[in-house]
Structure formats: structure tokens, C-alpha cells
Amino acid sequence: MITAIKQEGEQAPVSVVKSEISAMRLLRLGDLVEGKVLEKGSRMILVDLGLYGTGAVYRGEMQNAREIVRALNVDDPVRGKVVDVDNEDGFVELSLSHADRQKSWENVQDIKDKEEVLKVKITGFNKGGLITDIHGLPAFLPISQLINPSENKGEIGVNGSHTDLEKLVGGEVEIRITDVNPRTNKLIISEKAAKEESSREMVRNYSVGQIVEGVVTGIADFGVFVKFTDNPSVEGLIHISELGYKIVENPKEMVKIDDLVKVKITDIKDGKISLSLKALMSDPWSGIEGRYKNGQEVSGKVRGFHPFGAVIDLDDEIQGQVHVASFGGVEEMKKKLSQGEVYTFEIESLNAAEHKILLKLK
């Protein structure tokens, strides 16, 4: 604590008095202050707060912050939260436990702002997700923010299974902090967000238009997942529409698991890579006008039915479409056409640029 040294009868320099009064006025309840331990007793700790005066930590608070207190020695730096600016003893009353907790909230907010990825150990679970702690604060990882359970996590449903969640206790996961609210004591984390951040970092080595080699690791109704051979941590998706020039009913018709494929990167967004097999194929529609024309009578096999109508195979590479409206409805269409059967059609319109031939049943 800074005080003025004066002879008896002298007044303290005005500048010093003003600075001490000004410093006291700057203090507010809830402020965090730093000082140095002056005395440490069993009932009280006194702290030199410089221009703020002398701080005091009383016995009750010493019990609340026993771990902090145990490590403190005279002359050690210490941080406290102001709970009384000028108490009846003339001290600035401090809370060490509140200061430590507030500092923890500041730390996690800083981590969130910097979008850092952390590795945490799962300490528990409930029906909504997993529990851990960050800087001594309890953190919650909702089930919805877990990465696809297929990655060595078993199948965890939307509501979660206690058995499945319990298997994750004791393990470590990489997370990002997504929500910090000290007023409601809420600290929410996400494994998905950490994965997305990691993916964004890795995909920076790739660019749109690049041709890469990969291995088929998954097949879904909407497309095919491919892991890059030069970096198996990077995965892209071939949408079903990019598997070929023909309409693909089932991606399994085109590829199978563990197939080695060459693909072209067509888009990179938010750490996700879109791929295409079609982009590396020769376009069968090039010069199509020399083979087909408006009004031409053709035969074709019904490949499948869709909400818009039926898909017709005209040859090994080219398909046409019969619109459902020409039949009056889906049920009427299916009475006239059967999948796998060959029928005679007339070409109503041909658009080579859009890869589209519209047919009508003869």
C-alpha cells in the first residue's frame, strides 16, 4: 500500500491524496484486482493492493478457497474479486474463489473467441450428452454435437443410450467451445465444431479443379464418400448426380466399398469437399444431334420411376424422360409402363446443353 511519509504537523502532498482518493473511487463491486500477500494468518490474509489500499480475505472465504490459500505465501501475487470496497475494518474485502472462477470464465471466453480446439477428458454423462470440465468449470457436450457415431463410438440414437454414452466416459475428445454464459453457468462444447475446424485446416491444401485419388469408404442413397489416398484424414463426397451422366438409381451400381477412384474437386466450402466422377468422363451428349432429333421414333427401356415421370434408357449412354403429366398421374403412368420393359417413344424435344431429351409414348 502506498502512503505519504510526512513530519508531524505536515500535510500529505495534495497529488498523493488525490491519487489515493481517485483510486478508491475507481473500484467497483465485482472488480478483479491483483496484489501481493502482506500477511497470512489462520483467520485472515492481508493483501497489498497498491493505490487501492489493503485487501482482506476473511476466514469464511479462506475455507471456500482452501486450495488457493494453501499454496499462498507472503509476497506471492494473488488475484481477488471485490466484494466490499470499504468494509467496517477499512479494508477492501476480497473473494479468492470468486476471482478464480471469474478468471476461468474469462479464459474459456478467450478460448471461444480464438476458436481454439481443445482435447478434454469425458468425466460423466446424462441422458442429453457428455460431461467434462474446462479450467475447473463444468462443460456439457450434447449428443447432437457428437461426430457421426460410426467413428468408433457405436450407434448413438437421437435421444442417446446410457450404455453407449457410458462407453465414452474416461475417453478423450477434441472439442470447440460454442456457448459461454457465466450468468446461467452454461458452458457448451461441440465435437462436430472441432472436426469442422480441423477439416477447414486440412482442405486448405486442396483447390477446386484439382484431380485427386481416393478410396471409397461409404455409400449412401445421396452419394459416395471418398477418403484421399495422400491424406486419409481428408474425406470428400461425390453427390449421386456427379457419379455419371445417366441418372443413377443406386450409387452401388457405380462403385463399391474400397474401390480406388480418381475424382475432380468441384467445390470446397466450410471444410467440406465436393467431388465428381462425371467431370472426368467424356461427355456422351457431345454431338448428340447427329444421333437423335425432334420427332424421331425411338425404342427405349424403362429404367425407373421418379416424381417427375419415368427415366428411359435409349442406349448405353443416353437417357430420356417421359413426364408424368402426359399420363395424367403417377398411377396412370405405371399402368402404361413397366420397369425393365421396352416401348416405342417419340422425341418431343432435345436440349443437348441441358442433357435432356423429352419423350412421349407412341
- DSSP assignment of 110-143: HHHHTT--EEEE--EEETTEEEEEETTEEEEEEG
Q: Identify the domain boundary among 259, 280, 301.
A: 280
For residue 348, being part of any structural domain is answered with yes
Query: Is the residue at 9 inside a domain?
Result: no
Which pLDDT belongs to residue 127? 85
Residue 150 confidence (pLDDT): 38
Q: Are residues 126 and 183 in the same domain?
A: yes
Q: Is residue 1 part of a domain?
A: no
Is the residue at 7 inside a domain? Answer: no
Kindly state whether residue 175 falls inside one of the protein's structural domains: yes
Q: Which of 20-24, 177-181, 182-186 has the lowest mean pLDDT?
A: 20-24
Selection from 18-27, 159-168, 305-314 with the highest mean pLDDT: 305-314
275 in any annotated domain: yes
Taking residues 324-346, report their average pLDDT. 91
Q: What does the pLDDT look like over 32-86, one tens digit per residue?
A: 899 999 999 999 999 999 989 999 999 988 988 888 898 899 999 998 999 999 8
My answer on whether 265 and 217 are in the same domain is yes
Residue 182 pLDDT grade (very low, low, confident, very high; cuts 50, 70, 90) = confident
Q: What is the pTM assigned to this prediction?
A: 0.51
Confidence bin at 162 (pLDDT 50/70/90): low
Residues 73 and 27 in one domain: yes
Could you give the number of structural domains in the chain? Answer: 4
Confidence of residue 130 (pLDDT cuts 50, 70, 90): very high
Shared-domain flag, residues 35 and 93: yes
Question: At residue 266, does pLDDT exceed 90?
Answer: yes
Long-range contacts of 228-236 (CB under 8 A, 24+ apart): 229/260, 231/202, 231/205, 233/198, 233/202, 234/199, 234/202, 234/203, 234/206, 234/273, 235/273, 236/212, 236/263, 236/265, 236/272, 236/273, 236/274, 236/275
Do 190 and 242 belong together in one domain?
A: no
Same domain? For 320 and 262 the reply is no
The answer to whether residues 144 and 217 belong to one domain is: no
Helix/strand/coil for 173: strand
Mean pLDDT of the chain: 85
Instruction: Indicate which CATH number applies to the domain containing 71.
Output: 2.40.50.140
In a domain, 166, yes or no: yes
Which of 280, 302, 324 is a domain's end point? 280
Indicate if 190 and 214 belong to the same structural domain: no
Within a domain: residue 130? Answer: yes
Same domain, 191 and 212: no
Domain boundary among 179, 199, 219: 199
pLDDT tens digits for range 229-238: 998 888 899 9
Integer Cα distance of 25 and 15 in angstroms? 15
Q: 32 lies in which domain range?
A: 14-101
170 shares its domain with 247: no
pLDDT at 301: 95
Where does residue 18 fall: left (phi above 0), alpha (psi -120 to 50 degrees), or beta otherwise? alpha
Position 212 confidence tier, pLDDT thresholds 50, 70, 90? very high
- 95-106 pLDDT, tens digit per residue, is 888 888 888 888
pLDDT value, residue 13: 43
Res. 281: pLDDT tops 50: yes
Do the strands 129-134 and 211-220 form a parallel or antiparallel pair, or are they unpaired?
unpaired
User: Rounded to whole angstroms, what are the CA distances from 282 to 18, 244, 286, 311, 360?
Assistant: 85, 10, 9, 21, 28
- Which comes out higher in pLDDT, residue 163 or 5? 163
